[in-house]
Chain A
Amino acid sequence: MTTITTTTTAPPRVRKRVGAGRRQWIGLIYVAPAVALVMVFFVIPLGMTAWMSLHNWPLMGEHSFIGLGNYWAILRDTRFWNALRFTGYYTLIVTIAIFAVAFPLAIFIERPRPFTNLYRTMFFMPAVVGFASASLLWSWLLNVDSGLFSPAAYDLGLIDRKFNLLATFQPAFWSIIAMVVWKVAGFTMIILMTGLQSIPQDLQEAAVIDGAGPFARFRAITLPLMRRTLALALILSVAGSILAFDQFYIILRGGPRNQTLTAVYWIFNQSFVSFKLGYGAALSMVLLVILVALSLVQLWLLRKPEGLD
Protein backbone atom coordinates (compact mmCIF):
# COMPACT_ATOMS: atom_id res chain seq x y z
CA MET A 1 0.00 0.00 0.00
CA THR A 2 2.67 2.49 1.05
CA THR A 3 4.82 1.55 -1.89
CA ILE A 4 2.06 2.25 -4.31
CA THR A 5 1.53 5.75 -2.95
CA THR A 6 5.24 6.51 -3.05
CA THR A 7 5.61 5.28 -6.58
CA THR A 8 2.75 7.37 -7.84
CA THR A 9 3.41 10.60 -5.96
CA ALA A 10 7.12 10.85 -5.15
CA PRO A 11 9.70 12.07 -7.67
CA PRO A 12 11.81 9.32 -9.28
CA ARG A 13 14.93 9.76 -7.13
CA VAL A 14 13.06 9.32 -3.84
CA ARG A 15 11.23 6.32 -5.22
CA LYS A 16 14.48 4.65 -6.03
CA ARG A 17 15.87 5.25 -2.52
CA VAL A 18 12.81 3.82 -0.86
CA GLY A 19 12.90 0.81 -3.16
CA ALA A 20 16.55 0.20 -2.34
CA GLY A 21 15.88 0.52 1.37
CA ARG A 22 13.18 -2.08 1.27
CA ARG A 23 15.24 -4.40 -0.89
CA GLN A 24 18.26 -4.37 1.41
CA TRP A 25 16.80 -6.78 3.93
CA ILE A 26 15.35 -9.03 1.26
CA GLY A 27 18.87 -9.51 -0.07
CA LEU A 28 19.95 -10.66 3.35
CA ILE A 29 17.18 -13.26 3.36
CA TYR A 30 18.34 -14.62 -0.01
CA VAL A 31 21.90 -15.20 1.19
CA ALA A 32 20.95 -16.33 4.71
CA PRO A 33 20.85 -20.11 4.03
CA ALA A 34 24.30 -20.03 2.45
CA VAL A 35 25.75 -17.95 5.28
CA ALA A 36 24.14 -20.22 7.89
CA LEU A 37 25.63 -23.35 6.29
CA VAL A 38 29.07 -21.80 6.06
CA MET A 39 28.81 -20.73 9.70
CA VAL A 40 27.72 -24.14 10.99
CA PHE A 41 29.96 -26.33 8.84
CA PHE A 42 32.96 -24.06 8.35
CA VAL A 43 33.42 -21.07 10.61
CA ILE A 44 32.41 -22.73 13.88
CA PRO A 45 34.43 -25.90 13.17
CA LEU A 46 37.40 -23.73 12.24
CA GLY A 47 37.19 -21.89 15.57
CA MET A 48 36.75 -25.21 17.35
CA THR A 49 39.86 -26.64 15.69
CA ALA A 50 41.91 -23.76 17.09
CA TRP A 51 40.25 -24.14 20.51
CA MET A 52 40.62 -27.94 20.61
CA SER A 53 44.26 -27.76 19.63
CA LEU A 54 44.93 -26.20 23.04
CA HIS A 55 43.34 -29.13 24.85
CA ASN A 56 43.91 -32.73 25.72
CA TRP A 57 40.65 -33.95 24.20
CA PRO A 58 39.86 -37.68 24.23
CA LEU A 59 36.73 -38.99 22.50
CA MET A 60 35.16 -40.02 25.82
CA GLY A 61 35.55 -38.21 29.14
CA GLU A 62 36.59 -34.70 30.10
CA HIS A 63 38.95 -32.56 28.09
CA SER A 64 41.53 -30.38 29.80
CA PHE A 65 43.31 -27.21 28.81
CA ILE A 66 47.01 -27.78 28.19
CA GLY A 67 47.99 -24.56 26.41
CA LEU A 68 50.56 -25.13 23.71
CA GLY A 69 51.27 -28.68 24.92
CA ASN A 70 50.06 -30.28 21.70
CA TYR A 71 52.24 -27.99 19.63
CA TRP A 72 55.33 -28.86 21.70
CA ALA A 73 54.45 -32.51 21.16
CA ILE A 74 54.29 -31.94 17.40
CA LEU A 75 57.87 -30.63 17.43
CA ARG A 76 59.00 -33.98 18.81
CA ASP A 77 56.66 -36.07 16.64
CA THR A 78 59.18 -37.48 14.16
CA ARG A 79 56.49 -39.58 12.47
CA PHE A 80 54.49 -36.45 11.65
CA TRP A 81 57.56 -34.77 10.20
CA ASN A 82 58.28 -37.91 8.21
CA ALA A 83 54.70 -37.84 6.91
CA LEU A 84 55.10 -34.17 6.02
CA ARG A 85 58.41 -34.85 4.28
CA PHE A 86 56.87 -37.72 2.33
CA THR A 87 53.91 -35.51 1.38
CA GLY A 88 56.31 -32.85 0.09
CA TYR A 89 58.30 -35.42 -1.88
CA TYR A 90 55.12 -36.90 -3.37
CA THR A 91 53.80 -33.44 -4.24
CA LEU A 92 57.00 -32.52 -6.05
CA ILE A 93 57.24 -35.74 -8.06
CA VAL A 94 53.55 -36.03 -8.93
CA THR A 95 53.30 -32.40 -10.02
CA ILE A 96 56.27 -32.76 -12.36
CA ALA A 97 54.82 -36.00 -13.73
CA ILE A 98 51.36 -34.49 -14.27
CA PHE A 99 52.76 -31.48 -16.13
CA ALA A 100 55.08 -33.68 -18.22
CA VAL A 101 52.00 -35.52 -19.50
CA ALA A 102 49.38 -32.76 -19.47
CA PHE A 103 51.38 -30.08 -21.33
CA PRO A 104 52.00 -32.13 -24.49
CA LEU A 105 48.36 -33.25 -24.42
CA ALA A 106 47.18 -29.64 -24.12
CA ILE A 107 49.30 -28.65 -27.14
CA PHE A 108 47.97 -31.72 -28.98
CA ILE A 109 44.31 -30.74 -28.54
CA GLU A 110 44.68 -26.98 -28.51
CA ARG A 111 43.57 -26.17 -32.06
CA PRO A 112 40.33 -27.49 -33.53
CA ARG A 113 41.21 -30.20 -36.04
CA PRO A 114 39.42 -33.40 -37.06
CA PHE A 115 38.74 -35.66 -34.04
CA THR A 116 40.29 -33.21 -31.54
CA ASN A 117 37.10 -33.12 -29.49
CA LEU A 118 36.95 -36.91 -29.40
CA TYR A 119 40.56 -37.16 -28.19
CA ARG A 120 39.93 -34.47 -25.59
CA THR A 121 36.94 -36.37 -24.24
CA MET A 122 38.93 -39.62 -24.08
CA PHE A 123 41.84 -38.02 -22.24
CA PHE A 124 39.47 -36.39 -19.79
CA MET A 125 37.38 -39.43 -18.86
CA PRO A 126 39.46 -40.62 -15.88
CA ALA A 127 39.20 -37.11 -14.41
CA VAL A 128 35.46 -37.43 -13.73
CA VAL A 129 35.90 -40.76 -11.97
CA GLY A 130 36.38 -40.30 -8.22
CA PHE A 131 39.73 -40.76 -6.50
CA ALA A 132 38.25 -43.60 -4.45
CA SER A 133 36.95 -45.42 -7.55
CA ALA A 134 40.25 -44.91 -9.35
CA SER A 135 42.17 -46.18 -6.32
CA LEU A 136 39.99 -49.28 -5.99
CA LEU A 137 40.37 -49.92 -9.72
CA TRP A 138 44.15 -49.63 -9.59
CA SER A 139 44.44 -51.68 -6.40
CA TRP A 140 43.00 -54.49 -8.49
CA LEU A 141 45.23 -53.83 -11.53
CA LEU A 142 48.26 -53.72 -9.22
CA ASN A 143 47.36 -56.90 -7.32
CA VAL A 144 50.06 -59.54 -7.63
CA ASP A 145 47.80 -62.54 -8.32
CA SER A 146 44.52 -61.28 -9.73
CA GLY A 147 45.71 -57.99 -11.21
CA LEU A 148 46.92 -57.00 -14.66
CA PHE A 149 50.46 -55.65 -14.60
CA SER A 150 52.39 -58.35 -12.80
CA PRO A 151 50.63 -61.34 -14.46
CA ALA A 152 50.84 -59.68 -17.88
CA ALA A 153 54.56 -59.04 -17.50
CA TYR A 154 54.97 -62.65 -16.38
CA ASP A 155 53.01 -64.02 -19.35
CA LEU A 156 55.05 -61.90 -21.75
CA GLY A 157 58.20 -63.34 -20.24
CA LEU A 158 59.46 -59.97 -18.99
CA ILE A 159 59.87 -61.32 -15.44
CA ASP A 160 60.47 -64.91 -14.39
CA ARG A 161 58.58 -64.68 -11.12
CA LYS A 162 55.40 -62.74 -10.30
CA PHE A 163 56.47 -59.46 -8.75
CA ASN A 164 54.39 -57.74 -6.04
CA LEU A 165 54.44 -54.07 -7.00
CA LEU A 166 53.03 -52.99 -3.66
CA ALA A 167 55.49 -54.81 -1.39
CA THR A 168 58.41 -52.36 -1.46
CA PHE A 169 58.57 -48.58 -1.43
CA GLN A 170 59.90 -47.68 -4.88
CA PRO A 171 57.54 -49.73 -7.08
CA ALA A 172 54.60 -48.93 -4.79
CA PHE A 173 55.33 -45.19 -4.89
CA TRP A 174 55.72 -45.09 -8.67
CA SER A 175 52.54 -47.13 -9.10
CA ILE A 176 50.66 -44.44 -7.20
CA ILE A 177 52.29 -41.74 -9.34
CA ALA A 178 51.18 -43.58 -12.49
CA MET A 179 47.63 -43.88 -11.18
CA VAL A 180 47.39 -40.22 -10.19
CA VAL A 181 48.82 -39.04 -13.52
CA TRP A 182 46.29 -41.23 -15.33
CA LYS A 183 43.47 -39.74 -13.27
CA VAL A 184 44.51 -36.06 -13.14
CA ALA A 185 46.40 -35.34 -16.39
CA GLY A 186 43.19 -34.72 -18.38
CA PHE A 187 42.05 -32.13 -15.86
CA THR A 188 45.34 -30.23 -15.92
CA MET A 189 45.31 -30.52 -19.72
CA ILE A 190 42.01 -28.61 -19.96
CA ILE A 191 43.28 -25.82 -17.70
CA LEU A 192 46.49 -25.50 -19.72
CA MET A 193 44.48 -25.60 -22.95
CA THR A 194 42.48 -22.52 -21.91
CA GLY A 195 45.80 -20.71 -21.41
CA LEU A 196 47.16 -21.81 -24.78
CA GLN A 197 43.99 -20.75 -26.55
CA SER A 198 44.15 -17.27 -25.04
CA ILE A 199 47.48 -16.56 -26.79
CA PRO A 200 46.80 -14.48 -29.91
CA GLN A 201 47.58 -16.50 -33.03
CA ASP A 202 49.14 -13.55 -34.89
CA LEU A 203 51.82 -13.23 -32.20
CA GLN A 204 53.02 -16.75 -32.99
CA GLU A 205 52.82 -16.06 -36.72
CA ALA A 206 54.85 -12.86 -36.38
CA ALA A 207 57.52 -14.83 -34.51
CA VAL A 208 57.60 -17.44 -37.28
CA ILE A 209 58.15 -14.68 -39.83
CA ASP A 210 60.97 -13.33 -37.66
CA GLY A 211 62.56 -16.77 -37.92
CA ALA A 212 61.97 -18.02 -34.38
CA GLY A 213 62.07 -21.81 -34.03
CA PRO A 214 59.45 -23.77 -32.09
CA PHE A 215 61.53 -23.82 -28.88
CA ALA A 216 62.29 -20.12 -29.03
CA ARG A 217 58.59 -19.40 -29.57
CA PHE A 218 57.64 -21.63 -26.66
CA ARG A 219 60.07 -19.85 -24.34
CA ALA A 220 59.51 -16.29 -25.51
CA ILE A 221 55.76 -16.31 -26.19
CA THR A 222 53.90 -19.34 -24.87
CA LEU A 223 55.39 -19.56 -21.37
CA PRO A 224 55.27 -15.86 -20.41
CA LEU A 225 51.74 -15.36 -21.76
CA MET A 226 50.53 -18.43 -19.91
CA ARG A 227 51.86 -17.29 -16.56
CA ARG A 228 48.50 -17.06 -14.81
CA THR A 229 47.18 -20.33 -16.24
CA LEU A 230 50.39 -22.12 -15.37
CA ALA A 231 50.25 -20.74 -11.85
CA LEU A 232 46.65 -21.88 -11.46
CA ALA A 233 47.34 -25.40 -12.74
CA LEU A 234 50.41 -25.57 -10.53
CA ILE A 235 48.59 -24.45 -7.40
CA LEU A 236 45.67 -26.82 -8.01
CA SER A 237 48.09 -29.69 -8.41
CA VAL A 238 50.19 -28.76 -5.38
CA ALA A 239 47.22 -28.13 -3.07
CA GLY A 240 45.52 -31.36 -4.18
CA SER A 241 48.69 -33.37 -3.65
CA ILE A 242 49.41 -31.96 -0.20
CA LEU A 243 45.94 -33.12 0.84
CA ALA A 244 46.36 -36.58 -0.73
CA PHE A 245 44.69 -39.35 1.22
CA ASP A 246 42.34 -41.65 -0.74
CA GLN A 247 44.92 -43.37 -2.92
CA PHE A 248 47.41 -44.00 -0.09
CA TYR A 249 44.68 -45.27 2.23
CA ILE A 250 42.95 -47.50 -0.32
CA ILE A 251 45.86 -48.89 -2.31
CA LEU A 252 48.69 -48.95 0.23
CA ARG A 253 47.14 -48.48 3.71
CA GLY A 254 50.12 -46.23 4.38
CA GLY A 255 52.50 -49.12 3.75
CA PRO A 256 54.88 -50.66 2.98
CA ARG A 257 56.17 -50.20 6.57
CA ASN A 258 54.27 -46.91 7.05
CA GLN A 259 56.51 -45.26 4.48
CA THR A 260 53.65 -43.72 2.52
CA LEU A 261 51.71 -42.04 5.33
CA THR A 262 50.77 -38.56 4.13
CA ALA A 263 50.03 -35.56 6.35
CA VAL A 264 46.24 -35.97 6.10
CA TYR A 265 46.61 -39.72 6.69
CA TRP A 266 48.58 -39.06 9.89
CA ILE A 267 45.97 -36.58 11.11
CA PHE A 268 43.26 -39.12 10.29
CA ASN A 269 45.12 -41.79 12.30
CA GLN A 270 45.64 -39.53 15.31
CA SER A 271 42.07 -38.20 15.32
CA PHE A 272 39.94 -41.15 14.27
CA VAL A 273 42.02 -44.22 15.02
CA SER A 274 43.80 -43.16 18.23
CA PHE A 275 41.03 -40.65 19.07
CA LYS A 276 43.49 -37.98 20.23
CA LEU A 277 41.15 -35.24 19.04
CA GLY A 278 43.08 -32.33 20.60
CA TYR A 279 46.37 -33.49 19.13
CA GLY A 280 44.71 -34.11 15.77
CA ALA A 281 43.37 -30.56 15.87
CA ALA A 282 46.85 -29.16 16.52
CA LEU A 283 48.20 -31.15 13.56
CA SER A 284 45.30 -29.81 11.49
CA MET A 285 46.28 -26.25 12.41
CA VAL A 286 49.78 -26.88 11.06
CA LEU A 287 48.34 -28.24 7.80
CA LEU A 288 45.93 -25.32 7.63
CA VAL A 289 48.71 -22.76 7.97
CA ILE A 290 50.62 -24.46 5.16
CA LEU A 291 47.57 -24.43 2.86
CA VAL A 292 46.63 -20.82 3.65
CA ALA A 293 50.23 -19.74 2.98
CA LEU A 294 49.95 -21.55 -0.34
CA SER A 295 46.71 -19.70 -1.13
CA LEU A 296 48.42 -16.38 -0.45
CA VAL A 297 51.20 -17.36 -2.85
CA GLN A 298 48.45 -18.24 -5.31
CA LEU A 299 46.80 -14.82 -5.01
CA TRP A 300 50.18 -13.24 -5.64
CA LEU A 301 50.94 -15.43 -8.67
CA LEU A 302 47.47 -14.94 -10.12
CA ARG A 303 47.49 -11.17 -9.76
CA LYS A 304 46.43 -9.39 -12.91
CA PRO A 305 49.41 -8.61 -15.08
CA GLU A 306 50.46 -4.96 -14.89
CA GLY A 307 50.90 -3.36 -18.29
CA LEU A 308 52.43 -5.91 -20.62
CA ASP A 309 54.19 -7.68 -17.77
Chain B
Amino acid sequence: MARAISARGKLTARLARHSTGIIASLLFVAPIVWTVLSAFKPAAEARLPPLPPWPTTGFSLENYATLNSFGDGLWVSAQNSIYVSVMTVILSVIVSVLAGYGFSRFRFPFKDLFFVLILSTIMIPFQSILTPIFLVLTKLGLHNTLTGLVGVYVTLQLPFSIFMMRNAFDAVPREIEEAARMDGANNATMLVKVMLPLVWPGVVTIALFAFLGAWNEFLAALVLMTDQSKFTLPVMMTALQSGRFGAIDWGAVQAGVTVMMVPCLILFLALQRFYIRGLMAGAVK
Protein backbone atom coordinates (compact mmCIF):
# COMPACT_ATOMS: atom_id res chain seq x y z
CA MET B 1 0.00 0.00 0.00
CA ALA B 2 2.62 2.43 1.11
CA ARG B 3 4.78 1.42 -1.79
CA ALA B 4 1.94 2.04 -4.23
CA ILE B 5 1.48 5.56 -2.88
CA SER B 6 5.14 6.40 -3.09
CA ALA B 7 5.31 4.98 -6.63
CA ARG B 8 2.39 7.15 -7.61
CA GLY B 9 4.05 10.15 -5.92
CA LYS B 10 7.19 9.49 -7.91
CA LEU B 11 5.19 9.27 -11.11
CA THR B 12 3.45 12.56 -10.38
CA ALA B 13 6.77 14.23 -9.63
CA ARG B 14 8.24 12.93 -12.85
CA LEU B 15 5.19 14.04 -14.80
CA ALA B 16 5.37 17.52 -13.28
CA ARG B 17 9.06 17.69 -14.01
CA HIS B 18 8.77 16.73 -17.64
CA SER B 19 5.75 18.90 -18.36
CA THR B 20 7.66 21.86 -16.91
CA GLY B 21 10.67 20.93 -19.03
CA ILE B 22 8.66 20.55 -22.20
CA ILE B 23 6.71 23.78 -21.77
CA ALA B 24 9.85 25.76 -20.99
CA SER B 25 11.68 24.18 -23.94
CA LEU B 26 8.82 25.15 -26.26
CA LEU B 27 8.92 28.74 -25.03
CA PHE B 28 12.63 29.00 -25.80
CA VAL B 29 12.55 27.25 -29.16
CA ALA B 30 9.20 28.53 -30.48
CA PRO B 31 10.36 31.93 -31.85
CA ILE B 32 13.17 30.22 -33.78
CA VAL B 33 10.94 27.51 -35.22
CA TRP B 34 8.23 30.07 -35.98
CA THR B 35 10.63 32.15 -38.08
CA VAL B 36 12.21 29.24 -39.92
CA LEU B 37 8.79 27.84 -40.89
CA SER B 38 7.25 31.20 -41.80
CA ALA B 39 10.13 31.99 -44.13
CA PHE B 40 8.88 29.20 -46.43
CA LYS B 41 5.52 30.87 -47.04
CA PRO B 42 4.78 32.58 -50.35
CA ALA B 43 5.29 36.36 -50.13
CA ALA B 44 1.57 37.16 -50.01
CA GLU B 45 1.05 34.83 -47.07
CA ALA B 46 4.21 35.98 -45.26
CA ARG B 47 2.71 39.48 -44.91
CA LEU B 48 -0.13 38.11 -42.78
CA PRO B 49 0.21 37.22 -39.09
CA PRO B 50 1.99 33.87 -38.71
CA LEU B 51 -1.01 31.85 -37.55
CA PRO B 52 -0.34 28.99 -38.00
CA PRO B 53 3.45 29.31 -38.41
CA TRP B 54 3.75 26.80 -41.24
CA PRO B 55 2.83 27.62 -44.86
CA THR B 56 -0.83 26.92 -45.63
CA THR B 57 -0.90 27.97 -49.29
CA GLY B 58 2.06 25.94 -50.43
CA PHE B 59 5.77 25.75 -49.75
CA SER B 60 7.83 28.46 -51.45
CA LEU B 61 11.31 29.97 -51.58
CA GLU B 62 9.95 33.29 -52.81
CA ASN B 63 11.10 35.15 -49.69
CA TYR B 64 14.70 34.13 -50.23
CA ALA B 65 14.49 35.24 -53.86
CA THR B 66 13.04 38.63 -52.83
CA LEU B 67 15.76 39.03 -50.24
CA ASN B 68 18.36 38.66 -52.95
CA SER B 69 16.80 41.57 -54.88
CA PHE B 70 17.26 44.21 -52.16
CA GLY B 71 20.26 46.50 -52.49
CA ASP B 72 23.27 44.43 -53.39
CA GLY B 73 21.39 41.32 -52.43
CA LEU B 74 21.43 38.68 -49.77
CA TRP B 75 24.19 36.72 -51.44
CA VAL B 76 26.69 39.60 -51.32
CA SER B 77 26.06 40.20 -47.62
CA ALA B 78 26.16 36.49 -46.90
CA GLN B 79 29.51 36.25 -48.69
CA ASN B 80 30.80 39.22 -46.69
CA SER B 81 29.64 37.61 -43.45
CA ILE B 82 31.19 34.28 -44.37
CA TYR B 83 34.48 35.92 -45.38
CA VAL B 84 34.70 38.01 -42.21
CA SER B 85 33.77 35.10 -39.92
CA VAL B 86 36.08 32.56 -41.53
CA MET B 87 39.02 34.96 -41.62
CA THR B 88 38.37 35.89 -37.99
CA VAL B 89 38.42 32.20 -37.08
CA ILE B 90 41.65 31.48 -38.97
CA LEU B 91 43.55 34.54 -37.79
CA SER B 92 42.41 34.44 -34.18
CA VAL B 93 43.33 30.75 -33.98
CA ILE B 94 46.82 31.36 -35.44
CA VAL B 95 47.51 34.42 -33.30
CA SER B 96 46.16 32.86 -30.09
CA VAL B 97 47.89 29.51 -30.54
CA LEU B 98 51.22 31.28 -31.07
CA ALA B 99 50.68 33.64 -28.17
CA GLY B 100 49.32 30.91 -25.89
CA TYR B 101 52.39 28.79 -26.61
CA GLY B 102 54.71 31.76 -26.09
CA PHE B 103 53.13 32.74 -22.77
CA SER B 104 53.04 29.15 -21.55
CA ARG B 105 56.53 27.92 -22.46
CA PHE B 106 58.99 30.83 -22.69
CA ARG B 107 60.42 33.43 -20.39
CA PHE B 108 61.07 36.75 -22.06
CA PRO B 109 61.20 40.45 -21.18
CA PHE B 110 57.81 42.14 -20.48
CA LYS B 111 56.07 38.75 -20.50
CA ASP B 112 53.80 39.51 -17.54
CA LEU B 113 53.15 43.05 -18.73
CA PHE B 114 52.04 41.85 -22.17
CA PHE B 115 49.84 39.12 -20.71
CA VAL B 116 48.09 41.50 -18.33
CA LEU B 117 47.77 44.06 -21.12
CA ILE B 118 46.02 41.60 -23.42
CA LEU B 119 43.72 40.25 -20.71
CA SER B 120 42.84 43.69 -19.38
CA THR B 121 41.37 44.74 -22.73
CA ILE B 122 38.35 42.71 -21.69
CA MET B 123 37.60 45.44 -19.12
CA ILE B 124 37.44 48.16 -21.77
CA PRO B 125 34.22 48.18 -23.78
CA PHE B 126 35.15 48.38 -27.48
CA GLN B 127 32.02 50.46 -27.97
CA SER B 128 33.88 53.35 -26.33
CA ILE B 129 36.86 53.27 -28.73
CA LEU B 130 35.02 52.83 -32.04
CA THR B 131 35.67 56.38 -33.29
CA PRO B 132 39.47 56.11 -33.01
CA ILE B 133 39.34 52.60 -34.49
CA PHE B 134 37.57 54.17 -37.44
CA LEU B 135 40.39 56.76 -37.74
CA VAL B 136 43.14 54.15 -37.32
CA LEU B 137 41.62 52.02 -40.10
CA THR B 138 41.47 55.09 -42.34
CA LYS B 139 45.14 55.79 -41.61
CA LEU B 140 46.03 52.19 -42.49
CA GLY B 141 44.07 52.38 -45.73
CA LEU B 142 41.68 49.74 -44.37
CA HIS B 143 38.74 52.08 -44.07
CA ASN B 144 35.53 50.42 -45.26
CA THR B 145 37.25 47.11 -45.98
CA LEU B 146 36.30 43.69 -44.69
CA THR B 147 39.96 43.11 -43.81
CA GLY B 148 39.84 46.04 -41.38
CA LEU B 149 36.72 44.59 -39.77
CA VAL B 150 38.49 41.23 -39.42
CA GLY B 151 41.39 42.96 -37.62
CA VAL B 152 38.96 44.47 -35.12
CA TYR B 153 37.12 41.18 -34.57
CA VAL B 154 40.33 39.20 -34.08
CA THR B 155 41.50 41.70 -31.46
CA LEU B 156 38.17 41.42 -29.64
CA GLN B 157 38.64 37.63 -29.42
CA LEU B 158 42.20 37.74 -28.11
CA PRO B 159 41.73 38.09 -24.34
CA PHE B 160 39.44 35.06 -24.16
CA SER B 161 41.26 32.90 -26.70
CA ILE B 162 44.80 33.60 -25.50
CA PHE B 163 43.73 32.89 -21.93
CA MET B 164 42.16 29.63 -23.14
CA MET B 165 45.21 28.58 -25.18
CA ARG B 166 47.74 29.44 -22.50
CA ASN B 167 45.84 27.23 -20.05
CA ALA B 168 45.63 24.48 -22.66
CA PHE B 169 49.41 24.56 -23.22
CA ASP B 170 50.04 24.77 -19.46
CA ALA B 171 48.16 21.48 -19.09
CA VAL B 172 50.54 19.66 -21.45
CA PRO B 173 53.35 17.95 -19.49
CA ARG B 174 56.80 19.31 -20.27
CA GLU B 175 58.21 15.78 -20.59
CA ILE B 176 56.42 15.41 -23.92
CA GLU B 177 58.25 18.42 -25.31
CA GLU B 178 61.57 17.31 -23.93
CA ALA B 179 61.15 13.89 -25.53
CA ALA B 180 60.36 15.52 -28.87
CA ARG B 181 63.33 17.84 -28.49
CA MET B 182 65.58 14.83 -27.93
CA ASP B 183 64.28 13.50 -31.23
CA GLY B 184 65.52 16.70 -32.85
CA ALA B 185 62.26 18.61 -33.29
CA ASN B 186 62.70 22.38 -33.47
CA ASN B 187 60.23 24.85 -31.99
CA ALA B 188 58.01 25.19 -35.04
CA THR B 189 57.66 21.48 -35.82
CA MET B 190 57.15 20.79 -32.15
CA LEU B 191 54.28 23.27 -31.97
CA VAL B 192 52.54 21.94 -35.08
CA LYS B 193 53.27 18.23 -34.87
CA VAL B 194 53.46 17.56 -31.14
CA MET B 195 51.62 20.27 -29.24
CA LEU B 196 48.74 21.14 -31.55
CA PRO B 197 47.07 17.70 -31.44
CA LEU B 198 47.24 17.85 -27.65
CA VAL B 199 45.53 21.26 -27.37
CA TRP B 200 43.06 20.58 -30.18
CA PRO B 201 39.89 20.82 -27.99
CA GLY B 202 40.96 24.31 -26.94
CA VAL B 203 41.48 25.28 -30.58
CA VAL B 204 37.97 24.10 -31.50
CA THR B 205 36.54 26.09 -28.60
CA ILE B 206 38.23 29.36 -29.54
CA ALA B 207 37.39 28.84 -33.22
CA LEU B 208 33.73 28.37 -32.34
CA PHE B 209 33.63 31.52 -30.19
CA ALA B 210 35.47 33.50 -32.88
CA PHE B 211 32.97 32.41 -35.53
CA LEU B 212 29.91 33.23 -33.43
CA GLY B 213 31.41 36.54 -32.33
CA ALA B 214 32.21 37.69 -35.86
CA TRP B 215 29.04 36.33 -37.44
CA ASN B 216 26.77 38.03 -34.92
CA GLU B 217 28.59 41.34 -34.30
CA PHE B 218 26.51 44.37 -35.21
CA LEU B 219 27.69 47.76 -33.90
CA ALA B 220 31.26 47.75 -35.27
CA ALA B 221 30.07 46.50 -38.65
CA LEU B 222 27.37 49.17 -38.70
CA VAL B 223 29.87 51.94 -37.94
CA LEU B 224 32.87 50.77 -39.96
CA MET B 225 31.20 49.45 -43.13
CA THR B 226 29.67 52.44 -44.89
CA ASP B 227 29.45 50.98 -48.38
CA GLN B 228 26.45 48.77 -49.09
CA SER B 229 28.56 46.23 -50.97
CA LYS B 230 30.53 45.69 -47.71
CA PHE B 231 27.51 45.16 -45.43
CA THR B 232 27.51 42.00 -43.34
CA LEU B 233 24.20 40.19 -42.82
CA PRO B 234 23.14 41.94 -39.59
CA VAL B 235 23.77 45.41 -41.09
CA MET B 236 22.09 44.57 -44.38
CA MET B 237 19.06 43.02 -42.65
CA THR B 238 18.68 46.02 -40.34
CA ALA B 239 18.76 48.34 -43.35
CA LEU B 240 16.04 46.25 -44.94
CA GLN B 241 13.96 46.06 -41.76
CA SER B 242 14.19 49.84 -41.29
CA GLY B 243 12.49 50.33 -44.65
CA ARG B 244 15.58 51.67 -46.37
CA PHE B 245 14.67 49.71 -49.52
CA GLY B 246 11.00 50.76 -49.51
CA ALA B 247 8.11 49.08 -47.71
CA ILE B 248 9.22 46.49 -45.18
CA ASP B 249 8.88 42.97 -46.55
CA TRP B 250 8.43 40.82 -43.43
CA GLY B 251 8.74 37.65 -45.47
CA ALA B 252 12.22 38.74 -46.49
CA VAL B 253 13.05 39.60 -42.86
CA GLN B 254 12.04 36.06 -41.80
CA ALA B 255 14.19 34.56 -44.53
CA GLY B 256 17.16 36.77 -43.60
CA VAL B 257 16.87 36.01 -39.90
CA THR B 258 16.76 32.31 -40.76
CA VAL B 259 19.98 32.63 -42.75
CA MET B 260 21.58 34.45 -39.82
CA MET B 261 20.46 31.96 -37.16
CA VAL B 262 20.88 28.57 -38.82
CA PRO B 263 24.72 28.47 -39.02
CA CYS B 264 24.99 29.41 -35.32
CA LEU B 265 22.48 26.76 -34.30
CA ILE B 266 24.08 24.01 -36.39
CA LEU B 267 27.57 24.81 -35.10
CA PHE B 268 26.31 24.94 -31.53
CA LEU B 269 24.45 21.63 -31.77
CA ALA B 270 27.43 19.94 -33.41
CA LEU B 271 30.06 21.37 -31.06
CA GLN B 272 28.04 21.87 -27.90
CA ARG B 273 30.63 20.11 -25.77
CA PHE B 274 33.29 22.65 -26.79
CA TYR B 275 30.96 25.60 -26.30
CA ILE B 276 30.07 24.63 -22.74
CA ARG B 277 33.77 23.97 -22.08
CA GLY B 278 34.57 27.52 -23.12
CA LEU B 279 31.85 28.93 -20.88
CA MET B 280 33.11 26.87 -17.94
CA ALA B 281 36.68 28.01 -18.52
CA GLY B 282 35.48 31.59 -18.47
CA ALA B 283 33.30 31.00 -15.43
CA VAL B 284 35.78 29.08 -13.33
CA LYS B 285 38.81 31.31 -13.88
Enumerate chain A interface residues (CB-CB to B < 8 A).
20, 23-31, 33-35, 37-38, 40-46, 48-49, 52, 105, 108, 113, 115, 118-119, 121-126, 128-133, 136-141, 143, 145-148, 151-152, 155, 182, 185-187, 190-191, 194-195, 229, 232, 239, 243, 245-246, 249-250, 253, 264, 267-268, 271-272, 277, 280-281, 284-285, 287-288, 291-292, 295
Report whether B49 and A147 are in contact in the complex, using a CB–CB cutoff of 8 Å: yes
Partner of A27, one of B27, B94, B111, B154: B111
Min CB distance A186 to B, Å, is 7
Also in contact, A42 and B155, with CB within 8 A (given A132-B216, A136-B253): yes
Also in contact, A194 and B284, with CB within 8 A (given A23-B106, A35-B118, A48-B135): yes
Can you list the 4 inter-chain pairs with the closest CB atoms, starting with the nearest?
A: A27-B106, A130-B216, A30-B102, A151-B49
Enumerate chain B interface residues (CB-CB to A < 8 A).
17-18, 20-21, 24-25, 27-29, 31-32, 34-35, 46-51, 94-96, 98-99, 101-103, 105-111, 114, 117-118, 121, 123-133, 135-136, 140, 151-152, 154-155, 158, 162, 187, 212, 215-219, 223, 234, 237-238, 241-242, 250, 253-254, 256-257, 260-261, 264-265, 267-269, 272, 275-276, 279-280, 283-284
Distance, CA A138 to CA B101, complexed state (A): 43
Contacts A133-B234, A155-B51 supplied; 19 other A-B pairs, CB < 8 Å: A24-B107, A26-B106, A35-B114, A37-B158, A42-B124, A49-B132, A105-B24, A113-B17, A115-B21, A123-B28, A136-B256, A139-B241, A146-B47, A185-B28, A190-B279, A243-B127, A264-B219, A277-B131, A287-B128
Distance, CA A34 to CA B101, complexed state (A): 12
Partner of B151, one of A26, A37, A243, A264: A37
Report whether A34 and B47 are in contact in the complex, using a CB–CB cutoff of 8 Å: no
Also in contact, A26 and B187, with CB within 8 A (given A121-B269, A137-B257, A264-B219): yes
Distance, CA A22 to CA B242, complexed state (A): 59
- The residue of chain B having its C-beta at the shortest distance from the C-beta of A275 within the complex is B131
Q: List 12 A-B contacts (CB under 8 A).
A: A20-B107, A23-B108, A123-B28, A132-B238, A133-B257, A147-B50, A245-B219, A264-B127, A267-B128, A268-B219, A285-B128, A291-B123
Partner of A42, one of B94, B121, B135: B121
Identify whether the interface residues of B are mostly helix, strand, loop, or mixed. Answer: helix
Partner of B99, one of A31, A42, A285, A287: A31
Also in contact, A140 and B106, with CB within 8 A (given A128-B275, A232-B283): no
Report whether B127 and A37 are in contact in the complex, using a CB–CB cutoff of 8 Å: no
Tell me which residues across on chain B come within 8 A of A29, comparing CB atoms.
102
Distance, CA A285 to CA B151, complexed state (A): 23
